[in-house]
A and B are shown apart, each in its own frame.
Chain A
């Protein structure tokens, strides 16, 4: 009986999917909104990278939602790892792992500032070249991860990370509210667009991307710090 019910539900879903998919024309260009973005994106937003134009101008509110999702994920990891442990299970991390070899330690310390610089470059040039806040933030977090993996006992204080994250999130919302006050639309691009191919162009988009980059970098580094450091050394 149960098999029959599940099979009939599956068959119903399959028929529905087939019927709805058969109405979608394949191979013909029906994406009018994509053509609009391609033809008018640079003039509308001032961002040469059209992905950035969509993410931070046409669909900037969705980006705010995406940042909220990441924030909730980071919050969940923080809560999970600060849960009191059961009696008798000793804190690990104090297990006395042997230090990595000199090459690994010095190599990671040498690469750390360069990776940070690259991450900053990615999110500051998000409106000109591929990449943006999320990618730059992930690159910054990978620099901290490299330090954690290459140096036993590397310590990252949580407080500055939390402050950076909060300030960046507040900056994003405040810029959105200024746009709402100036022109009546939340996250409207109220600054002058500037000339193309320059760093200071595209209005508020570089500021927003810097805020997103710092926020994502701080959140992902915070997740890494939560997992690597035992509670006593936070």
Chain B
């Protein structure tokens, strides 16, 4: 139970960081951290199928697609 609370707080911090960062690569990494913690939470809440989907799609594929988009546009928020 305490682990779930700690992870939820860490997830909130990462989400806030994703909002605050001006460097978009850092913001995307923070988003990936949110997804990763979400997948650990899914695992702790006994939903391993969803955890795997979240880890593969949320943490890996979405991050990479955002990185491509940032590479083709600009790195810093105006």
Contacts and interface: CB of A to CB of B under 8 A. Distances in A.
Interface of A: 49, 51, 92, 122, 130-132, 134-135, 138-139, 141-142, 145, 148-149, 220, 223-224, 227-228
Given A130-B49, A138-B61, A145-B64, 10 more contacts: A49-B49, A51-B49, A131-B49, A132-B49, A134-B53, A141-B56, A141-B61, A223-B65, A224-B61, A224-B64
Contacts of A51: 49
Contact of A131 (B48, B57, B60, B64): B48
Given A138-B60, A145-B60, A227 B52 contact: no
Contacts of A227: 65, 68
B49 A138 contact: no
A135 B61 CA distance: 12
A165 B45 CA distance: 34
Contacts of A220: 61
Contacts of A148: 64
Contacts of A145: 60-61, 64
B56 A135 contact: yes
Interface of B: 48-49, 51-53, 56-57, 60-61, 64-65, 67-68, 72
B56 A149 contact: no
Given A149-B67, A227-B68, A228-B68, A142 B52 contact: no
A206 B8 CA distance: 36
Given A130-B48, A130-B49, A131-B49, A138 B64 contact: no
Given A142-B61, A145-B60, A220-B61, A131 B52 contact: yes
B52 A130 contact: yes
Contacts of A142: 56, 60-61, 64
A92 B61 contact: no
B72 A92 contact: yes
B68 A138 contact: no
Contacts of A131: 48-49, 52
Most central of B56, B57, B60, B65 by chain A CB within 10 Å: B56
A92 B72 CA distance: 8
Contact of B52 (A122, A149, A223, A224): A122
Contacts of A149: 64, 67
A139 B72 contact: no
Contacts of B68: 227-228
B53 A138 contact: yes
A51 B65 CA distance: 28
A138 B49 CA distance: 13
Most central of A135, A224, A227, A228 by chain B CB within 10 Å: A135
Contacts of A135: 49, 52-53, 56
B43 to A, nearest CB: 9
29 contacts: A49-B49, A51-B49, A122-B52, A130-B48, A130-B49, A130-B51, A130-B52, A131-B48, A131-B49, A131-B52, A132-B49, A135-B52, A135-B53, A135-B56, A139-B52, A139-B56, A141-B56, A142-B56, A142-B60, A145-B61, A148-B64, A149-B67, A220-B61, A223-B65, A224-B61, A224-B64, A224-B65, A227-B68, A228-B68
